[in-house]
Structure 1
Amino acid sequence: MTLEKQIAKTFNLEGDNWAKHANPWSIWTRFATLPFLILAIWSRIWIGWFCLLPILLLIIWLKINPTLFKKPKNFDNWGSKSVLGEKYWSERKKISVPRHHYLPIRILTLLQTIGGVILIIGLWKLRIDLTAIGTILIYMAKMWFLDRMVWIFEDMKNERASSHKNNPE
């Protein structure tokens, strides 16, 4: 099982729940959570241990968000395609994804991880510069990653369409 598949399972992204998460409301409200999480963690200097309450609420939000919204009427938008591309990517051991995606995705995942480490150090040390750099790196790499997922979705859609043309049932 891939790491992405394990993460998807943690967020209950199996079966029809992928379609729910492809709802633009799910995508963009979840995507916008990081600054609030950063603020909640940073708030420890103002409200002490009470910062755990908003942190916990945001973690719960991240956990339930992918299945909270209804399946969209159509998937013809960038965000929905990125989620469906992530589904293909997480299931690449069962359904082969074109090899030309592997290296860029690994690089973008590494960049997100580096950004995460910088962000954590910035939050730990209360360094606004590191916090901002980490956040920017995470968001830039994540957006590029999601764009790559759209590319995977389009490749897989085209591959499946051409295989149905060549092999009608």
Structure 2
Amino acid sequence: MACPVCRSVERQGGAGGERRPPARALHGDGWASRGVLSKRLWLGRREQAIADHHRRMANVLTAVIAAGVPILAWGLWVLDPWATVAGTVVVLGAKLWFVDRMVRLYDEAMGAVREAVPTAPRTVR
């Protein structure tokens, strides 16, 4: 069920009066979606082996994030804008890089699954 605001915009024909196509269902094909889905692979790394280069890089990036947190916290504590910005850049930059590495992990894992599971040819109607 849509929210009341969404329904009223729908009744009016969209935000600017134009009709919009329906929202696409989430199938994990977006970068951020694959980053979120990859967390399950990362959390299950004890049961299923993960390539060493992914494991090593994730640990390095986690250490970089951990190193940036004290800089950010100190900058916030003493109200130093430069330390706060530096800590934020380090933490967020490393976190985005971490998510990107998780997306690569997810793509590799799903590529292996797609290759292992044959699919029936689709028929066009």
- Matches of residues 12-161 of structure 1 in structure 2 within 5 Å? 73-161=26-114
Normalising by structure 1, report the TM-score.
0.52
Q: Secondary structure at the match of 1:137?
A: helix
Could you list the runs of 4 or more consecutive aligned residues of structure 1 that deviate by over 3 angstroms after TM superposition?
A: none
Aligned length: 94
Contact 1:81 1:150 in 2 (8 A): yes
Q: How far apart are residue 117 of structure 1 and its match? A: 1.3
Give me the whole-angstrom Cα distance separating, in 1, the residues matched to 2:94 and 2:107: 20
Greater fraction of residues in helix: 1
Q: How far apart are residue 146 of structure 1 and its match? A: 0.6
Contact 1:122 1:128 in 2 (8 A): yes
AA in 2 matched with 1:88:
L
Q: Secondary structure at the match of 1:95?
A: coil
Q: CA offsets per residue over residues 52-103 of structure 1, 9 Å max, x none?
A: xxxxxxxxxxxxxxxxxxxx53211000001111221111111222222111
Q: How far apart are residue 131 of structure 1 and its match? A: 0.7
Give me the whole-angstrom Cα distance separating, in 1, the residues matched to 2:53 and 2:116: 19
Q: Percent of counterpart pairs with the same letter?
A: 31
Instruction: Give the alignment's Cα RMSD to 1 decimal.
Output: 1.3
Larger Rg: 2
Give me the whole-angstrom Cα distance separating, in 2, the residues matched to 1:106 and 1:129: 27
